[in-house]
Amino acid sequence: MIEAGRILVAGGAGRLGSALARLGGNAPGRDQLDITDASKITAAIEQSAPSAVINAAAYTNVDGAETESDLANRINAYGAGTLARLCAVAGIPLLHVSTDMVFSEGDPELPISETARPAPNSVYGESKLEGEMQVRAAGGRHCITRVSWLFSDEGESFISKILAVGAKRGQLDLVDDEYGRPTHVDPLAAHLVQLAQMLADGTAVPGLLHLGPADPVSRYGWAKEIFSVAEKAGGPSPELKPVPGSHFPTPAARARGVILDVNQADALLGPMPAWHPFSETVVHKLLERG
């Protein structure tokens, strides 16, 4: 095992990067570690001499990527590739965080395994898939992890957005054909640190893993749970109506029916804690803040 402080985190200022920092990861800001700047990557590696690197840096504005494709690719694809190549040269294993949006269609009754062929339908998904390909092509020891629906009480998330809208409207239409595994950043960070330690120790780790808790749910189903908690706490409780994703045209297409199969990761790391208590806690924290 290695000390968490020997894990260098790219994207340290983000929600996931902050969670990794809480576990002792060395998570500098972008001014010190910018994955689009080879000189900064080299300096950060030389200064910290990490045993492993976790790449949590990403352009995450899914709709914005449709008009900012150059920026999305510079960070998600070429930035990931630059980091991977420099890690490979230095002999440092890399844990790279990707997304379920490398897929576009699925059956919620049939979770998608790591062997499935990706087929993104958005610029964001394409940029993340290119990042995966560049990490593999770099030739270093690595593990790519795909995740979905990250949340916490920091910044914006599905919970914060839906509570804000629910406080203003008596009825909400919620998408019922978009599925995922709501994943709080703290248990995800714990799994990532565990994987990084395994990579650094030379333990056999697959090159690709899907991560997330049990009990996947639709946006509609998650919203029902959110407002059930909110109502008991004196918060908003609008009427909810399930609708197909086509009801809400967006600049970027969304994946429909896609659920990642996490069996391989569960067998290797142990199951991730259930998302429901984390979701409930976040609802209470956000309501308390007003």
Active site residues: 124
Rounded to whole angstroms, the maximal C-alpha distance in the chain is 57
Cα–Cα distance for residue pair 40/60, rounded to 1 Å: 22
Cα–Cα distance for residue pair 279/260, rounded to 1 Å: 19
Q: Give the list of residues 6+ apart from residue 261 with CB closer than 8 angstroms, or none.
A: 111, 112, 113, 114, 210
Please count the helices (runs of H) and the strands (runs of E) in the chain: 10, 11
Name the residue type at position 16.
L
Query: CA quadruple 49, 60, 96, 3: dihedral positive or negative?
Result: positive
Cα–Cα distance for residue pair 48/112, rounded to 1 Å: 37
Nearest to 214 by CA among 262, 267, 178, 278: 262
Asked if 159 and 56 count as a contact pair (C-beta separation under 8 A), the reply is: no
Cα–Cα distance for residue pair 115/248, rounded to 1 Å: 31
